[in-house]
Amino acid sequence: MVRKSVCCVVGLLTIACLLSSVVPCLTAAAAGEKLKVSASAAVVMDQQTGQVLWAKNPNWRRPIASLTKIMTAVLVLEYCDLQEQVAVSREAARTPGSSMYLRAGASYTVRDLLSGLMLASGNDAAEALAQHVAKTTAEFAVLMNKKAVLLGAHNTHFTNPHGLPDDNHYSTAYDLAVITRYAMSIPQFAEVVASQRRVISEPGSGAGAEENSRPIYNKNRLLWQYEGANGVKTGYTAAAGRCLAASAARHGRQVIVVVLDAPRMWEDAAALLTYGLEEFENLRVVEKGQTVGTIGVAQGISDIIPAVSAEDVWVTVSKSQQDAVGVEYVIHEGLTAPIQKWGPVGKLLVKAGDHVLAEVPLLAGREVEARTLGGILKHFSRRLHRLLVAH
């Protein structure tokens, strides 16, 4: 099935065609008939495309407990080497709540503290790492908030690195899915949170004492109970309720799930992961460099040029519906020669109804000289050169 239409859109000309045999994501309303979760807020997101596959109150700002530590780990990995030594302050060692039982005055590697942070959910590890990166936890929170803005997590605000209660410390299911997706793209992060067990070095307690090793076990029971589970973090406070950011991979795809204030946290996460993994697939709609159409050029040696996609375009689509996804290319109005090859000429949109699934730049597939004496001579000279080279 193919259709074409032409319409004007405030300074843009849109030429729409339809890609056959591509199906859109289920709407939240339709999916809600299949999914009954206890969580007050939840999101299912595809790791590759970043598309939201299902959501419940995705933008509701809530306390997030130890899911905070996902951002803490991201910043630590961006600012530190894993072998750096971190001296534990008395303040860090005395941090209340869940702990990996650090000793004040002792030094641990960043690698070991990350294990304690993400597996044992050590608030003491969060405090020690934050002080190591930014001297104070307040300064570290500034870095956290800057990173959140860069990632597009605009309904998030951090005041500490561990998630202990604070009225000004909050996020949303959607923002946490965005942050988690980014974190899981960092190999060192993905390796840590996929570990069921890590062994860390415990510094000796006296002068000349030898180091001891001790195991730390992951609190994320999905790593044992759910096929393909590979992360990421649990959380709980009385204010936040039971929270979980989870990830699993099957069939060459990976899905992120976030559930907040979820009495049946494990059951919710398993059901949402299965839904995201089994009900959807990822398709490459357009290849990088592929010509998607032709566009008109004013005052040029050539009247038309090919428009090519600047990137591969992938979308996540539902297996259960057969409606087509619309592919539109939106061309900048008033394109006038000269135009450089690979210069921007518009954008390509992949849409399900009015919902944009993907957007990438469109580039000029070839150069166009202006229709002037100089342009004509330049065009003729280049054609002559190509002919001579060919012979």
Q: Which of 40, 121, 247, 309 is catalytic?
A: 121
The per-residue pLDDT for range 125-144, each reduced to its tens digit, is 999 999 999 999 999 999 99
Q: Which of 166, 124, 156, 158 is nearest to 141 (CA)?
A: 158
Q: Is the pLDDT of residue 15 over 70?
A: no
- pLDDT score, position 303: 83
Between CA 44 and CA 275 the distance in angstroms is 9
Residue 161 pLDDT: 98
Mean pLDDT, the chain, rounded, equals 87
pLDDT value at position 376? 53
pLDDT computed for residue 16 by the predictor: 39
| Tokens, residue 124 | 């003491």
d(CA 132, CA 88): 9
Does 124 have pLDDT greater than 60? yes
Phi, psi of 124 (to 5 degrees): -65, -40
- The number of CA neighbours under 13 Å toward the Cβ of 186 is 17
Strand ranges inside 268-385, DSSP E: 280-286, 291-296, 304-309, 313-318, 325-332, 344-352, 355-364
- The average pLDDT across 83-108 equals 96
* Bridge partner list, 281: 317
Least confident of 11-15, 47-51, 215-219, 225-229: 11-15
Are the C-beta atoms of 277 and 270 separated by less than 8 Å? no
**Exposure letters 224-235 (e unless 16+ CB within 10 A, then b):** eebebbbbbbbb
pLDDT at 26: 42
350 vs 118, which has greater pLDDT? 118
Confidence class of residue 380 from pLDDT cuts 50, 70 and 90?
low
**Catalytic site residue from 40, 66, 247, 318:** 66
**Chain mean position to CA 387:** 49
Q: Is residue 287 pLDDT above 60, yes or no? A: yes
**What pLDDT sits at residue 207?**
52
Tell whether the model's pLDDT for residue 6 goes beyond 50: no
* pLDDT score at 371: 74
Burial 81-118 (b: 16+ CB within 10 A, else e): eeebebebbeebbebebbbbebeeeeebbbbbbbbbbb
pLDDT at 338: 87
pLDDT (0 to 100) of residue 5? 32
Q: Write down the domain spans for the chain.
A: 5-24+284-390, 28-278
What is the CATH topology of the domain spanning 28-278?
Beta-lactamase (3.40.710)
Q: Edge-to-edge strands of the sheet including 229-237? A: 52-56, 41-46, 253-260, 241-250, 229-237
69 is catalytic: yes
Q: Which of 56, 69, 147, 233 is catalytic?
A: 69
Query: Is the pLDDT confidence value at 192 over 80?
Result: yes
Query: Which class is domain 5-24+284-390?
Result: mainly beta
Pairing of strands 85-87, 107-109: antiparallel
Residue 320 among the catalytic residues: no
Q: Which residues fall within 8 angstroms of residue 58, CB to CB, at 6 or more apart?
A: 41, 42, 43, 52, 172, 173, 174
Predicted pLDDT of residue 1: 25
Q: What are the tens digits of pLDDT across the range 34-83?
A: 789 999 999 999 999 999 999 999 999 999 999 999 999 999 999 999 99
Residues above pLDDT 70, as percent of the chain: 83
